[in-house]
Structure 1
Amino acid sequence: MNVFGKGKVADRSPEYAHAKRIVDEIARDECDVAEDMSSLIVSSWKRCVSEYKLDRGGHKGPEIVTSNELKRAVDPLDLLRHVARPEIERLMEQVGGSGYVVMLADPNGIALDVLSAAAPDRALRRVGVCPGATWGEEQAGTNGIGTSIASRCAVTIHRSQHFFFNYSGLTCTAAPIFGSDGQVMASLDASSVADLPKEMQPLVRELVSATARRIERRYFLEKNRNRAIVRVEWGLDSHHDGSGLILALDDNGRTIEVQGGGGDHARATNCGALIGNPLSAFMEIAWQDVARSAKSPHVERIGIAHLKGSDRPCFASLIAPARSAGWAPSRRLASGAAGACKLDLDFLAGSDPVMREHVRTIRRLVDKSLPILLYGETGTGKEEFARGIHEVGARSAKPFVVIDCSSIPESLIESELFGYETGTFTGARREGRRGRIAEANGGTLFLDEIGDMPLPLQTRLLRVLAQGEVVPLGAAKPIKVDFNLICASHQDLPKMVSEGTFRQDLYYRIAGIRLELPALRARTDKESVILGALAVEAQKMALGVPPAISPEALKILLAQRWPGNMRELRLALRYALACSGEDEISQDRLPNWLNLGAGDNAPSPVGDVPDAPNLIDALERNRWCISDAACELRVSRQTLYRWIKKENLSRPT
């Protein structure tokens, strides 16, 4: 390994002096580092030389990912970026006057967001202080973001302490952001090209570290906003320094997730041992009810607590979940970026008994390693429901990867799903492709319209699910993968199995939990669904509070058959909002492709199910096979069951 680069370098050159300093420091004993160095930086230099085999002479500047690769890095961290924004802006107010730029990077060191007090300095842009720049140690050598991720602690890399000479004019201070599982989710960095006093570095490092801890807690609280939260503080001021514990409880009062702070008491607590146990198993709390205030409207109780095995008392507070017993659309829209509403399971279920039962099933079984199969007509919201399932599970902070099996050309679906090695075929990317299944590792893989997957691909998918590993095209070595699987289809998969167009063994691999989403016309809470969809579309159009719907217009909407289900409803409401703005949505503002006379002859049929034509004949022709009869009548199985109940029919013995 030539750390001095290629070719002869004059002894006087700054690059040579910088490289020689690194070599000399690496050669020293770890216990005898120079006064202006730290063992953390020397360890990073050693990794750059020994593990990453970085060639200083071959470094041409920062690597910038493509727009698609940046999007894939951004998507899994949408919620984190949203909750981090106020804290990043606050940090910017504190350090921006000194010429600092604040960056948020993903766990691979890819810069996602860059915030500066003024237009970014050209010198900063040249060294990669911009979205899409890759700051992992493996690519950029010793630097704030990459070294904070590798060392799992806050660091300051000042000018010539960078491994590459290109970055020697930069001062970087970064701190990792941890998830509740103890893994690094992101890195927060403040960088400057100004020659700042050395005495300022500890202050900036303290500010960055404190901001990272607040982001962790904000993220935990937002992710568990629909769960009861218990906060345990070791002192009156510990909620400022992040040294306490936050516990998220399920509906039975058991701990399902813990965010541990950095204090001595928190470190002494085995957070993993708390998971699955009720509070009483490890803590005694003398609760006291409190009056709610505008400042903390969700705090229901406070108390003095004692952790078992510890003599020191601590403070505890119980925060009620954000969800209410009733269903109010304006309160069920999850926080997200402007124009991008995230809908949770309670919002999607509304008050429909079938959907509420589905949600109860999901909350009980979501983390039991059972594959989930969603049935339903086109437009019933299967992808949104799958995202809601992902959000309530233990893997919610990990990737949610969507693959629409019906939209990928058959010639490309294999490389899209499984990836490929460099040079596998003509036209392939030079660096190869990881594959969408491998991208879902640790998170959730959602296969939409799996019934459209070609049979040869079904065989390969079956092997992935059976072996827990994927083999990219052109590769000899398999890659281990671990993800939750959710599949969806509007087709009758059991019938496809009997016809030989869908593998039976694959069907039983994907159908651990089988849920059918009812069509919009069959839901018993149709009015609430319409009002909820109106709230979503109004938020997307930045209208704030959604406008009212006139009784005549609502009657027409309730009487529609909605063959396109939620997709058709949201399109109709978007049209009505575009025509009405913030004014009341009247009958003449509805799109003319609706049946505008549908509400004239009957009152609003909330959840009404039409009569079935020749129901008994259809059942007898199909030997009372519900799936086949539903397919013949072109309705969902749930609708068919309702018809059978309405006609008081029973299967002949």
Structure 2
Amino acid sequence: MGHLQLAADIHGQRLQQARQLFFDRGDLPEGLLSPLILRSWERCQRFGLTEHNPLPGVESLDRVALKTEQDRNRHLLLQGRPIMEHVYEQIRASGSMVVLADANGLLLETVGDADFVDRADRIALSAGASWDENQRGTNAIGTALAEELPTEVLGAEHFLAHNGFLTCCASPIFGPDGRVIGVIDISGDYRSQQRHTLGLVRLSAAIVEKRLFESIHCRDILVCFHQRADYLGSPKEGLAAVSPDGQVLAINRNGLEILGIRQVDAVRRDFSIVFESNLSALVDRLRGNSQGSCEIGVNGKIIQVQLRGQLPPLAVAGRVYDEQALPRPVRKPEAVGAATLTLDTLNTGDARLQAAIDRSRRILGRDIPILIQGESGAGKEMFAKAFHNSGPRQSGPFVALNCASIPETLIESELFGYQGGAFTGARKEGAPGKIQQAHGGTLFLDEIGDMPLNLQARLLRVLQERCVTPLGSTRSIQVDISLVCATHRRLREEVARGTFREDLYYRLNGMSVTLPALRERTDIRQMVAKLAAAETINRAPVRFAENALRAIESYAWPGNIRQLFNVIRVAIALLDDGENVIDQSHLPEELFESNPQATNGSSIAPDPWMAAPLEGAGSLEEIGRQAAMRTLEAAGGNISAAARQLGISRNTLYRKLGKF
């Protein structure tokens, strides 16, 4: 701590000397400031700012004008808000705030500690205010936008003297087209600055960029690539959006850096030119394996490639779909592996789950919809897949759509499909919807309680008439589907509130089953054994010590099975070479808290940012690195403290971090 205070004192003295030279004498304080800060100070002078007086007439937007700007930046807010909230949870009670601003420096949304927010309001660091450099002087938000670089502005580095109590770190957010569309910032008191804040905002910006790219190009083929397979799915992976006819529509900054090319060399070029590979061959090779990857050579480099997004269907040349009644699909080879998850394999001894399985088994092969209810993470999609694989439609497709995760503006085309030219940005050849894709199989609508009212009427019509009409088309297409829905909401209460159609509720509720929350189940030990066995196929089996099993049984599991699965994966990843016993030291501290959440029956879904890397196809080695990095960050970079918290030696921790 003494070293940090000494460094802060030296920095403060250098800044005082720099300000005297620049503002009092008109000399350049070369060597006393970073070149980035000095460039900003010079720009501020050219703007007509002085250290004590901002430009006159700088006012915040009123509520109506702010709402207009928030609507204009709705995609940025939609993808950035969850990351903002997660970042704030990491810095809560540190006298800080998180800010999301647009490309002009207008603050769209803020979240922070009340005591600091009050101080920030006095200098207009609040939603509706502009922190463009030409109005507020040197500051992390405005300067990051001007430089298009991650920026840290500490104390008196701010051009305006009255902002000198701030320490701010910001990183620009780039859209899929490579242009800056916003900035994310963490601001706090200069006296409580943290070393890792700039790294945190850089990572946050990268995650927002990834979410934006995947959201905007969700209907395109997403080519994901990196030199290292374990970086696929991470914020560092390259992303390219490609049309079915092989044209590269967009590529992110990571992708350009990995390939060593410029954007003009990739966008609107043919896939084969940019990636030196045949798109059709790549799609055929990876189809049906969303987590699989393969190697290709580009510009003398070997890169790992994975395909996501919406792949073109098999046996279709030139059109994504044809408006005819679809033939019943034949059994695909990959469906055999999927059928290993059945209602029988789900049964691990819990009486309530057994009752749900028995009820569901009685309607297999019958044209009766099933409604699965239960808390988030309780295994509703797993149950739906098991139901599909246990019946006569197991050779057909299982198509899932989460009604809560797709923006309302996209869900209609996602569910019903569209004809070419149906709306601005639509593919010229059109696209099939999830209902068509599920023909001959099962359509699983997760979080059906979140479906917009206007689409509920269309879905009801499809269920009654057994045909679907894509957007922009006048022709109906016959479909044969089995419908399974799931929700964590009480649909009867939603019907009473008028947010869910009563006629659709009775149509969907052919049979209702409720899955017990994990904390209510009596078969937790059997589940732990089954999940651990599935995770150790490629390594020596592991077993759980009795103290670890008791801790797992006594915990409330607010994230249910999803949370348990992640805990088991991390515990296995933290084992040393030759170790095969998991004890309490391998489990997260939250399992031993005296008053865990969700004891009242509420459900808290795991944060997508924290859960996604552990739910992906990463190796156990990669999962171990992720857990080690998070613990090290939480320990402020202290290796000894992180090793103690993880229950491993310092050498083991260094080994797990060594390949990062």
TM-score between both structures, scaled by the size of structure 1? 0.48
The structure that has the greater radius of gyration is 1
TM-score between both structures, scaled by the size of structure 2? 0.47
